């Protein structure tokens, strides 16, 4: 203990410690006085790399790259890995030599970080590192991630029946895109009969649609129906919080697109000012918000 006190943590100094499992000898003690936070990197699927650099008065440099689920460095013991792909791990260098052994402990008291570790590097050197001080991390925005909802899209021609004349009118300049949304268990939770131009891909269906009874123009959604006397209901609909399917007869549906960290196109569906009817013929109103739905290939 007296030896540790005499050596202190004022800079990187070499000394011998015999009692550390017989593995760490001639350890360089480093008290890093300055910490710099570099821009955070998105590694994918909510995982970030928090990049930090530490220097001392003797010109020594420690770099630590922490894997994190959060935008701010959390307390814990970080495990060394060859490549950073998940939270709770780290990679790093000391004086440009890669760290080859040892874990890094992070503690936070108030706004003061305590970063410590007993580390080895690939050039055969061994270090006892310590930093005590502030670090400020910039909180960013995560990339969208699939929420477990999936969808299928089926296309068909737009045909409207005139029930008074029994004549069918076909609209060749538009296509009906029937989008069916499922939850993680494969249960249908929504269906939208979207009308838009021909040959549209999923990401080209973005926009705000009006629900109308006999939709045949772009940016319309064909309304749902309920005929309780005949036991029939179908068309554009969503499953409400009570687990009852509501068929949409009015309102708007906004479709937006986004891209996940791994490059997948995700669609979100938001219904507002909705007029509804259920299978029993009970009318009402509602709203829904289905986020980050992935296309089921």
Q: Is the pLDDT of residue 147 over 70?
A: yes
Does the model's pTM come out above 0.75? no
- pLDDT for 170: 95
Q: What is the pLDDT of residues 199-254, one digit of tens each?
A: 999 999 999 999 999 899 999 999 999 999 999 999 999 999 899 999 999 999 99
Task: Indicate the pLDDT class of residue 266, thresholds 50, 70 and 90.
Answer: very high
16 compared with 263, residue with greater pLDDT? 263
How far is it, in rounded angstroms, from Cα 207 to Cα 194?
11
Q: How far is CA 149 from CA 25, 89, 184, 248, 260, in A?
A: 55, 30, 6, 20, 14
Mean pLDDT (whole number) for 88-110: 97
Q: Closest by alpha carbon to 79, among 69, 91, 61, 62? A: 91
Helix (H), strand (E) counts: the chain? 1, 23
- Kindly list the domain boundaries of the chain, sorted by start residue: 2-133, 150-295
How far is it, in rounded angstroms, from Cα 250 to Cα 129?
65
How far is it, in rounded angstroms, from Cα 6 to Cα 8?
6
- pLDDT for 219: 98
Mean pLDDT (whole number) for 264-269: 93
């Amino acid at each position: 203990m007296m030896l540790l006190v005499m050596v202190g943590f004022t800079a990187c100094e070499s000394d011998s410690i015999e009692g550390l499992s017989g593995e760490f000898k001639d350890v360089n003690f480093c008290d890093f006085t300055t910490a710099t936070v570099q821009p955070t990197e998105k590694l994918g699927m909510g995982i970030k790399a928090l990049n930090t650099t530490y220097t001392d008065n003797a010109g020594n440099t420690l770099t630590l790259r922490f894997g994190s689920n959060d935008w701010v460095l959390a307390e814990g013991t970080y495990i060394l890995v060859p490549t950073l792909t998940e939270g709770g791990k780290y990679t790093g260098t000391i004086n440009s030599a890669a760290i080859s052994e040892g874990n890094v402990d992070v503690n936070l008291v108030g706004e003061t970080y305590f970063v410590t570790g007993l580390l080895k590097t690939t050039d055969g050197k061994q270090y006892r590192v310590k930093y005590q001080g502030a670090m400020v991390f910039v909180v960013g925005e995560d990339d969208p991630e699939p929420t477990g909802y999936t969808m299928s899209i089926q296309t068909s021609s737009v045909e409207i029946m005139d029930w008074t004349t029994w004549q069918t009118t076909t609209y060749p300049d538009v296509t009906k895109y029937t989008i069916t949304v499922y939850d993680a268990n494969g249960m249908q939770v929504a269906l939208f009969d979207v009308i838009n131009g021909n040959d549209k891909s999923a990401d080209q269906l973005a926009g705000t649609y009006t629900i109308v009874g006999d939709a045949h123009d772009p940016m319309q959604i064909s309304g749902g129906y309920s005929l309780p006397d005949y036991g029939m209901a179908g068309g554009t609909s969503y499953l409400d919080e009570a687990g009852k399917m509501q068929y949409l007869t009015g309102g708007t549906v906004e479709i937006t697109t986004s891209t996940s960290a791994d490059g997948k196109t995700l669609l979100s569906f938001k219904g507002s000012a909705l007029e509804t009817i259920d299978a029993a013929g009970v009318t009402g109103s509602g709203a829904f918000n289905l986020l980050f739905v992935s296309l089921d290939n």
